[in-house]
Chains A and B, each alone.
Chain A
Amino acid sequence: MRVAVVGAGLGGLLAAANLLERGYKVDVFEKLPFNGGRFTNFHYKGYEISTGALHMIPHGSKGPLAKMLRKVGAKVEIVDSKPNGTALYRGEEIKVSKKTFPLKSRLKFALYCLKNVFREVKLSELEKNLDEFSAKFLRAFLGWSLSLTPSQLSLSDVYPIYEATYTLGGPGIPIGGCKAVVDALLEVMESYDCRVKREKVRAIRMESYGLSLHFRNTSERFDAVVSDAGPVETYRLAGLNVPKLEESRGIKYSIALKEPLIDHTGVMFTLDTRRICGVNQVTNADPNLGERHFLMAHQPMITSNVKFEIAEGLKDLKEILKGYEYEVLVIQSFSDGWPVNRARAGRDCSNETPVKGLYMVGDGAKGEDIEVDGIAIGIERVVKEIEKEVEKR
């Protein structure tokens, strides 16, 4: 069985490592000169600036990604957040647990869940009925973790995430940042003599037997193709009608701090802001991620005017960091071909495509969880599907 993987983002690399471990022959093709896509880092001015992610694994060492990394033998050390999160509210940092929310709001949540059994109700309906703290927390939490607002989501979109967070726990930070995960996967692949090939895939075609990948001047045959290029690009490459997908967009700030702002490894959600939903100080988990304290702040893009969104975000940062000496090292915005998420929470495409033998992985084809943990669940499914195909033959 020969399998091709299109794209060496986290999804592609993780899929490749899994397939190699099961004994398949795998070739990985990547159009960019670097591996890891939106989940790696570049060293810049003394800091490990990531190409996308906030150096966080949603459910830390207990989540689906960590489990999968252990299974394929990828050595990554993950520091679980303690506490999971705090909230900056009226100038004070508050520890967040179930009890932080007033009983009345917890009851409103239960009632809201019940209502959803009968019809789909937007989370903004719930927001309206909550006390100020709970409402602001909901907004900040969704903005940080999904780059979306309550009016863009309903319970069914987020319930699996809520459940996973409840049972698996909060985030963790890999020592070495995102790139450590990518490097560990490349090492696993290398142990099977598999190296990423620098080729842009230009088309995927169905053949009488298997599939073919087309490059600038050549083409190659495979039994199956796993695409990490995202649903839009994958369908385009296969000559199919491109699915309509709503992505999530956001802006990330990487900040160097002289004095620490927070003293833990979790997220501090910021509640009294225009845009910024939260900050994490990743050097608390791994001091080697930056020369000084390394803070990241994240906001969703509410309007489509990027310059305006950044101006609002910078105003927030000025307030959050009042009295601190800081330098904004990098401002990164994510949309279109390079978004925060290719599909909004709960709207992922299936891992299977209309083309037999062509599968999708990555953040447009996640399983029931968020970000890289959702990617791991999707990959598990694809591997199972491919094994089923092999058994049939």
Chain B
Amino acid sequence: MIVVTEKCVGCATCMLVCPSRAIKVEGKAEVIQEKCEKCKKCLNYCPVEAIKWVE
């Protein structure tokens, strides 16, 4: 599962690159788990390493 940690600054880079439009950002990123395809793109693109993968 994709999890957004406290480090998130709300820059929305993850939202811009998510192919399934599964992320909403307003101050902080929120993942809509039902829409998430678990491709991990957001995790790689986050500039501050705020996204973690939790089994």
Contacts and interface: CB of A to CB of B under 8 A. Distances in A.
Given A307-B27, A337-B47, A42 B9 contact: no
Contact of A330 (B9, B12, B45): B12
B36 interface: no
B9 A336 contact: yes
A60 B40 CA distance: 38
A323 interface: no
B17 interface: yes
Contact of A33 (B16, B28, B44): B44
Contacts of A336: 7, 9, 48
A331 interface: yes
A309 B10 CA distance: 12
B16 A330 contact: yes
B45 to A, nearest CB: 6
A257 interface: no
A310 B27 contact: yes
Interface in B6-55: 7, 9-13, 15-17, 25-28, 44-45, 47-48
A168 interface: no
A333 B9 contact: yes
A44 interface: yes
B45 A32 contact: yes
B6 to A, nearest CB: 11
Interface string A30-46: 00111001000010100
A125 to B, nearest CB: 32
A246 to B, nearest CB: 16
Nearest to B47: A338
A219 B23 CA distance: 36
Contacts of B13: 42, 51
A331 B12 contact: yes
Contacts of B16: 42, 44, 49, 51, 330
A42 B27 contact: no
B48 A310 contact: no
B26 A310 contact: yes
Contacts of B26: 307, 310, 331
Given A32-B45, A42-B16, A49-B16, A338 B9 contact: yes
Given A51-B11, A51-B13, A333-B10, A306 B45 contact: no
A49 B25 CA distance: 14
A152 interface: no
B11 A332 contact: yes
Contact of B25 (A34, A37, A332, A338): A332
B27 A32 contact: no
A318 to B, nearest CB: 15
Contact of B15 (A310, A330, A337): A330
Interface of A: 32-34, 37, 42, 44, 49, 51-52, 306-307, 309-310, 330-338
Q: Which 3 A-B pairs have the closest CB atoms?
A: A333-B10, A306-B27, A337-B48
Given A331-B26, A332-B12, 13 more contacts: A42-B17, A44-B16, A52-B11, A306-B27, A307-B26, A310-B26, A330-B15, A331-B27, A332-B11, A332-B25, A334-B10, A337-B9, A338-B48
